[in-house]
C-alpha cells in the first residue's frame, strides 16, 4: 500500500502532531514543530538579516552558506564592512590566532540584540577547537555561551550573545 505524501501531510497536520515543510523558513508556528527546517532558520537567521562573515576558507561548508544566504536574502558582509549587523559568523580553526581578539572585534559592529556564531571543525577533523577554548574566551570578551549544535557534516556551531549589564 502506497501512501500519498499530500494525504499524509494533511493527516499529520490535522492531528497537530507535526507539520512537514518543503522547506520552511520558520521554526515554530502555532505550536507546531517543523521537520526539515533549514539549518539557517534553526540558527535564528531571518529574511533581511545582515551577517558579517569572518574566517571563510576553502574548507567551509558551502551548502550551509548558501542556505543562510537564501534565508536572509542578503550576501555575507566581509571584514571591510562598517555596518551594524544582526549576526556574526566566525569560521574558527585551531591555530587561527587569538579567539578573544576575534570576539572583541566581532562586537564592534554587532547590533544590541545580535548573536555571534562560532563555527568550528568537529572532533577528529583538522583544525578542531576544544569547546573549553570558546568557553574560556567568551566571558573575557563580554560574551555568554548559550548553545552548541551540529550544523554540517564537518562543522559545529556555538552561539554567543553579549552579556547584559547588571542594573543597580
16 shares a domain with 82: no
- Lowest-pLDDT range, 2-11, 28-37, 74-83? 2-11
Averaged over 4-31, what is the pLDDT?
45
43 shares a domain with 28: no
Instruction: Give the pLDDT confidence score for residue 166 in this predicted structure.
Output: 54
138 shares a domain with 82: yes
73 shares a domain with 43: yes
Task: Region of 39 please: left (phi>0), alpha (psi -120 to 50) or beta.
Answer: alpha
Asked whether residue 115 is assigned to any structural domain, the reply reads yes
Q: How confident is the model at residue 18 (pLDDT cuts 50, 70, 90)?
A: very low
Instruction: Give the pLDDT confidence score for residue 163 in this predicted structure.
Output: 82
Instruction: Give the pLDDT confidence score for residue 150 in this predicted structure.
Output: 93
What secondary structure does DSSP assign to 35-56, as a single string? ES--HHHHTT--TT--EEEES-
75, 65 contact by CB (below 8 A): no
Q: Which of 17 and 137 is assigned the larger pLDDT?
A: 137
What is the spatial distance between Cα 158 and Cα 134, in angstroms, rounded to a whole number?
A: 8
pLDDT digits (tens, 9 = 90+) for 35-75: 567 788 889 999 999 999 999 999 999 999 999 999 999 99
76 shares a domain with 143: yes
83 shares a domain with 15: no
pLDDT digits (tens, 9 = 90+) for 89-125: 999 999 999 999 999 999 999 999 999 999 999 999 9
Asked whether residue 122 is assigned to any structural domain, the reply reads yes
Residues 6+ apart with CB under 8 A from 126: 59, 93
| Percent of residues, the chain, with pLDDT higher than 70 | 76
Q: Domain with 141 in it: what CATH number?
A: 3.40.50.150
Asked whether residue 168 is assigned to any structural domain, the reply reads no
Range of the domain at 26: 5-35
Q: Which of 10 and 119 is assigned the larger pLDDT?
A: 119
Q: How confident is the model at residue 34 (pLDDT cuts 50, 70, 90)?
A: low
44 shares a domain with 10: no
Asked whether residue 61 is assigned to any structural domain, the reply reads yes
153 shares a domain with 75: yes
pLDDT digits (tens, 9 = 90+) for 125-141: 999 999 999 999 999 99
24 shares a domain with 75: no
Q: Which of 90, 95, 96 is nearest to 138 (CA)?
A: 90
Asked whether residue 167 is assigned to any structural domain, the reply reads no
138 shares a domain with 96: yes
- For the chain, what is the domain count? 2
Q: Give how far the C-alpha of residue 116 lies from the chain's centroid of Cα atoms, to the nearest Å.
A: 8
Asked whether residue 113 is assigned to any structural domain, the reply reads yes
pTM listed for this prediction: 0.77
25 shares a domain with 12: yes
14 shares a domain with 77: no
Amino acid at each position: 500500500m502506497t501512501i500519498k505524501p499530500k494525504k499524509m501531510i494533511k493527516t499529520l497536520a490535522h492531528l497537530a502532531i507535526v507539520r512537514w515543510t518543503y522547506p520552511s523558513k520558520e521554526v515554530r508556528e502555532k505550536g507546531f514543530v517543523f521537520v526539515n527546517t533549514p539549518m539557517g532558520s534553526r540558527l535564528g537567521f531571518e529574511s533581511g538579516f545582515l551577517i558579517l562573515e569572518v574566517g571563510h576558507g576553502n574548507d567551509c561548508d558551502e551548502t550551509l552558506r548558501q542556505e543562510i544566504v537564501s534565508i536572509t536574502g542578503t550576501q555575507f558582509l566581509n571584514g571591510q564592512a562598517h555596518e551594524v549587523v544582526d549576526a556574526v559568523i566566525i569560521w574558527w580553526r585551531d591555530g587561527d590566532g587569538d579567539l578573544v581578539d576575534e570576539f572583541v572585534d566581532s562586537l564592534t559592529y554587532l547590533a544590541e540584540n545580535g548573536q555571534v556564531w562560532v563555527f568550528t571543525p568537529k572532533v577528529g577533523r583538522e583544525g578542531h577547537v576544544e569547546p573549553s577554548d570558546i568557553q574560556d574566551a567568551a566571558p573575557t570578551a563580554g560574551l555568554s555561551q548559550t548553545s552548541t549544535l551540529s550544523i554540517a557534516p564537518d562543522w559545529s556551531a556555538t552561539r554567543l550573545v553579549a552579556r547584559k549589564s547588571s542594573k543597580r
